[in-house]
Structure 1
Amino acid sequence: MPTNIIMPALEMAQETGKILRWLKTEGASISKGEPIMEIETDKVTVEIESPGSGILANITAHEGDVVPVGQTIAWLVAPGESAPSVAPAIQSGRTIPNPVEINASPVARKIAEEHGIDLARVKPGGGRIEKADVMAFIASLSSPVLRTPPSPSPEVQEREKGDGGKWVRSSPKARRLANERGVDLSTLRGSGLDGAVIVADIPIAPTSQPPALTTDHS
């Protein structure tokens, strides 16, 4: 029986994912757990592992395509088996704009961006979202209810490793900033969703210490 491969939900508020590249070609024989593609969301870039074993068939999403979460993008079939035909629901090289205009203060937007927070999930206390509303939402993330993981999806493996060889979940902006500042991501404790390292977690690179002054006793 064919097994469908879908665009997984890696984050609580994720609606789409972008195909960066396929690691396997159509017609390739694949084992369960083998990395088959790389995808990118607003916060992370990850490798997706195969949900089963079989022959990769009927790929409907290609590099640069933005695909809704849950959409079938390929199939795994047995030798001699045919994959069902599925109409692709993709947007080539484009992202889906948010149809709802969110009223938030500049400070609230900045804090939300630094912490990887989707403002659509923040409930305003008044007519617009303020700093206090975002901070309250961040504090509430420790609630077991809000931290319930999303529905099961294929296992993922972080693309980026720290200097210590440990897989690190991080946002693309945080990775770039860490590289610029010479910071090892594996030494940081992330404050983003699911422990992801975000921009606010990257420390300023330490400045070199000035040479010690010596006193001439001659």
Structure 2
Amino acid sequence: MPHDVTMPQLGMAQDAGKIVSWLKAPGDPVSKGDALFEVETDKAVMEVEAPADGFLTGVSYGEGDDVPVGNVIARISDSAEDDPAPAPSQAAPAPPVAADDTIPEGHPVTMPQLGMAQDTGLLVSWLKAPGDQVSADDILFEVETDKSTMEVEAGRDGWLAATLAEAGEEVPVGDPVAIVSGNKPDAPVARSVKDTEAKPAETSAPPPSVHKSPAGQPTETVALAAASPNPGGRILASPKARRLAIEQGLDLASLAEAGHPQPFHVADLEVLRNMPRATAAPVAPPSEAPRRLTAVCSADRLSAFSLWAGETRALNPDAVLAGFAGTSFGRADAVCVAIERFGNRQTYHVPVGRSLSGVSETDDDPALIVRDLRGTSLASLNMGAETTPVLSLTDDRAGLAITLECAAAQLDASDAIQLITEFAGRMEQPLRHLL
């Protein structure tokens, strides 16, 4: 069965992507996860992977072409002779915002595609209520993928005129999740994905409940989910509630079994503590709590440095990034660093010293993972410790945000501080690596 390869949405403000180069030729055999081509967005150049095993056929766009998000670029077919992909003009149109006139006019905020293997995203919770005024960088909702819970921004100033899905629902990639209007809506709409006959929210009805801090500011998310079981049996909770529950030895499943409305928030933990049957899970000692450090760079100058290094030294940009990260460890021996983007990973051997020309590809297990999330809609993340320390790169209004997450046993406090400080310094001032 053929699989379409489409232009992914790698950021909320992205309407199209430019094909920089093809890494596979028509008729070539490919495996799931192989890099097919490189895409250039406003902020970065990224590789797009094959969604399945097969042969590359039906290539509809060439290098240098700007391709609208969602358009079919090629196909992965069972044989090299399969029919070509549809012409660009035949590509399926984006789903309509609504089939009736009850949805206010405005800019749709869609479910972003954060990886080629992602078909849907689970809407965990709303951080804004219908009718709220929002700024472009305000967080509207949280999305759960296979790997983490992520936040999605409004993308423009205005009012949240409509929410088109409820917490706990799976939303297909590219489908509208909300409408941001330039004018304050008279009748904000709140509807479900399953709602085929959406109606405007009653102005006299109370808005969805929002947990408030003593100062009156929202501290958690807007709860729109019912107490019914969630798809796949997953427990929905804000990242902060999950973290505190783990630290305090509280079992969120007890709240779910009691029928308490999801998603859970920090305020719901008090209910859990007072439940007769709430049992504490084994709690790691305080010294074993995961480490999470964040650094903000005033500018991200790596792209310009990598371009210079590629032109003058023929260096791979990812090898440069791995070299920066490996050297920042400050170890007396060589280290292996993996560069990861949208599930595609390549590991590099970083020798002792500052020579970037000695960085080479390897199949060895990495001692550090650099997860490059620049160019996506992610504003912040808290994924917890993994089996290997992880440095995550995200865009920040100031320039670049770097988050280090690791277990206490992997890096002590001083080593963790040195790693993120040295790495942030190299990202902001790459020439310091050569000094």
TM-score, reference length from structure 1:
0.51
**Partner of 1:77 in structure 2?**
77
1:167 alignment partner, SS class: strand
Task: Say if 2:151 is the partner of 1:147.
Answer: yes
Cα distance change of structure 1 residues 205 and 13 upon mapping to structure 2, 3 Å threshold: closer
C-alpha displacement at 1:49, in angstroms? 0.8
Ranges in structure 2 where 5+ consecutive residues have no aligned partner:
90-132, 144-149, 153-169, 175-316, 326-336, 342-369, 381-393, 401-424
**Partner of 2:399 in structure 1?**
201
Cα distance change of structure 1 residues 189 and 41 upon mapping to structure 2, 3 Å threshold: closer
Task: Say if 2:222 is the partner of 1:24.
Answer: no
Cα distance change of structure 1 residues 166 and 193 upon mapping to structure 2, 3 Å threshold: farther
Amino acid at match of 2:339: W
| Percentage of identical aligned residues | 32
Q: Contact 2:23–2:38 at 8 Å: present in 1 too?
A: yes
Over residues 19-76 of structure 1, what are the superposed CA-to-partner deviations in whole Å (9 max), with x where a residue is unaligned? 0011000110001111111101112211111000111112111100000111111111
Over residues 2-32 of structure 1, what are the superposed CA-to-partner deviations in whole Å (9 max), with x where a residue is unaligned? 1111111111232101100110001100011
1:205 & 1:151 partners in 2: Cα distance?
40
Q: How does 1:117-132 map to 2 (within 5 A)?
A: none
Equivalent residues, number: 141
Amino acid at match of 1:23: L
Amino acid at match of 1:70: G
Q: Contact 1:76–1:83 at 8 Å: present in 2 too?
A: no
Ranges in structure 1 where 5+ consecutive residues have no aligned partner:
90-124, 126-132, 154-158, 170-185, 209-218
Cα distance change of structure 1 residues 84 and 201 upon mapping to structure 2, 3 Å threshold: closer
**Partner of 2:339 in structure 1?**
167
**Partner of 2:9 in structure 1?**
9
1:46 & 1:190 partners in 2: Cα distance?
10
1:26 & 1:190 partners in 2: Cα distance?
29
Q: Contact 2:59–2:85 at 8 Å: present in 1 too?
A: no
Over residues 88-125 of structure 1, what are the superposed CA-to-partner deviations in whole Å (9 max), with x where a residue is unaligned? 35xxxxxxxxxxxxxxxxxxxxxxxxxxxxxxxxxxx8
1:32 alignment partner, SS class: coil
C-alpha displacement at 1:81, in angstroms? 5.0
Cα distance change of structure 1 residues 193 and 78 upon mapping to structure 2, 3 Å threshold: closer
**Partner of 1:45 in structure 2?**
45
Cα distance change of structure 1 residues 201 and 51 upon mapping to structure 2, 3 Å threshold: same
Cα distance change of structure 1 residues 192 and 142 upon mapping to structure 2, 3 Å threshold: farther
2:376 & 2:83 partners in 1: Cα distance?
39
C-alpha displacement at 1:201, in angstroms? 3.1
1:12 alignment partner, SS class: coil
Q: How does 1:170-185 map to 2 (within 5 A)?
A: none
1:197 alignment partner, SS class: strand
2:142 alignment partner, SS class: coil
1:191 & 1:28 partners in 2: Cα distance?
29
2:27 & 2:375 partners in 1: Cα distance?
41
Cα distance change of structure 1 residues 192 and 77 upon mapping to structure 2, 3 Å threshold: closer
1:144 alignment partner, SS class: strand
2:88 alignment partner, SS class: coil
1:191 & 1:84 partners in 2: Cα distance?
30
1:73 & 1:191 partners in 2: Cα distance?
20
TM-score, reference length from structure 2:
0.27
Cα distance change of structure 1 residues 7 and 199 upon mapping to structure 2, 3 Å threshold: same
Q: Which is richer in strand?
A: 2
Q: Contact 1:30–1:53 at 8 Å: present in 2 too?
A: yes
Over residues 192-215 of structure 1, what are the superposed CA-to-partner deviations in whole Å (9 max), with x where a residue is unaligned? 841523573367649x9xxxxxxx
Cα distance change of structure 1 residues 201 and 191 upon mapping to structure 2, 3 Å threshold: farther
Q: Contact 2:75–2:85 at 8 Å: present in 1 too?
A: no
Amino acid at match of 1:42: D
2:398 alignment partner, SS class: helix
Amino acid at match of 1:54: G
Cα distance change of structure 1 residues 50 and 190 upon mapping to structure 2, 3 Å threshold: closer
1:147 alignment partner, SS class: strand
> Larger RCO: Structure 1 or Structure 2 (Cα < 8 Å, ≥ 6 residues apart)?
1
Quote the RMSD (CA, aligned, Å).
Answer: 4.0
**Partner of 2:55 in structure 1?**
55
1:60 & 1:13 partners in 2: Cα distance?
24
Q: Contact 2:6–2:71 at 8 Å: present in 1 too?
A: yes
